[in-house]
Amino acid sequence: MVAGLPAGLFEVAVDATTLPPGVVNTFDPDGGNDAISQLTLVAGVNDANQDFGFLGTASIGRVIFRDDNANGLPDAGEGLPGVTVSALWAGPDNTFGNADDRTYSAITDADGAYLIANLPAGQFRVTVDTATLPAGAINNVDPDGGNDSTSALTLTAGQTDLNQNFGYAVPVTVTEPPVATSTGFLPFTGASMVGQLAMLGTILASSGSDS
């Protein structure tokens, strides 16, 4: 808040050199989206509506896939849906691990595709949440070659990096078919086979005499 101002015409401006790199003004009070607002103050009246909004212009994305044919490429039908991907920004100081870091995230669609947009410029770490992958999935394709479900990259202002593909070898679950039940035999009752055959003969003879 800027206090102690006299009445009169004012121009409020955001110092662009203090903003994160690679962002643009998407909202300002007088609608110009130029990070500048003009207003007139009346004596004794406060104006608490001088809000300015900014969004990044870069983006990260592509496909999380199961590499069924081991060719390292996301082929048709190999996309993994419902996988969470995060992009950790190192902040304006380009240093990971302190208070200005920020995480952006997305979830893959039915084709395994994702896009994390409105990012500022700077250092990023893209990470696949392995808890959202199929059981037993092993990373065999990642953009920086570490095969650790994490990729490090640098974005410039307005850049779109659609090379953040992560591939996985996913074990195939084999379900054993149920054991077939033999037909044409009497169920086992505890009696010997000879006894069961004798019983069957008796039943058949009795049926013949009744006819």
| DSSP structure string for the chain | ---SPPSEEEEEE--GGGSPTTEEEEE-TTS--SSEEEEEEPTT--------EEEE-EEEEEEEEE-TTSSSS--TT-B-TT-EEEEEE-TTTT-TTSTT-EEEEEE--TTSEEEEEEEPSEEEEEEE-GGGSPTT-EEEE-TTS--SSEEEEEEPTT-EE----EEEE-PPPPPPPPPPPP-SSPPP-SS-HHHHHHHHHHHHHHHHHH-
Q: Read off the pLDDT band of 173 (50, 70, 90).
A: confident
In this structure, the strands spanning 122-128 and 138-141 are unpaired
Domain boundary assignment for the chain = 8-54, 57-169
Return the CATH fold of 57-169: Immunoglobulin-like (2.60.40)
Torsion of CA 18, 19, 25, 27, to 10 degrees: -80
pLDDT at 210 over 80: no
The pLDDT of 68-76, averaged and rounded, is 94
Point out which residues pair with 193 in neighbouring strands: none
Measured over the CA atoms of residue 142, residue 146, residue 150 and residue 154, the dihedral's sign is negative
Question: What pLDDT is recorded for position 194?
Answer: 59
Compute the average pLDDT of residues 143-147: 95
Please check the confidence at residue 92 and state whether its pLDDT lies above 70.
Answer: yes
Model confidence pLDDT, tens digit, residues 180-209: 665 555 555 555 555 555 666 665 666 555
Return the percentage of the chain with pLDDT > 70, whole number: 83
With beta carbons less than 8 A apart as the criterion, state whether 96 and 124 touch.
no
Does position 152 have pLDDT exceeding 70, yes or no? yes
Residue 155: pLDDT over 60: yes
Among 40-44, 132-136, 195-199, whose mean pLDDT is lowest? 195-199
Taking the C-alpha atoms of residue 14 and residue 28, their distance in angstroms, rounded to an integer, is 10
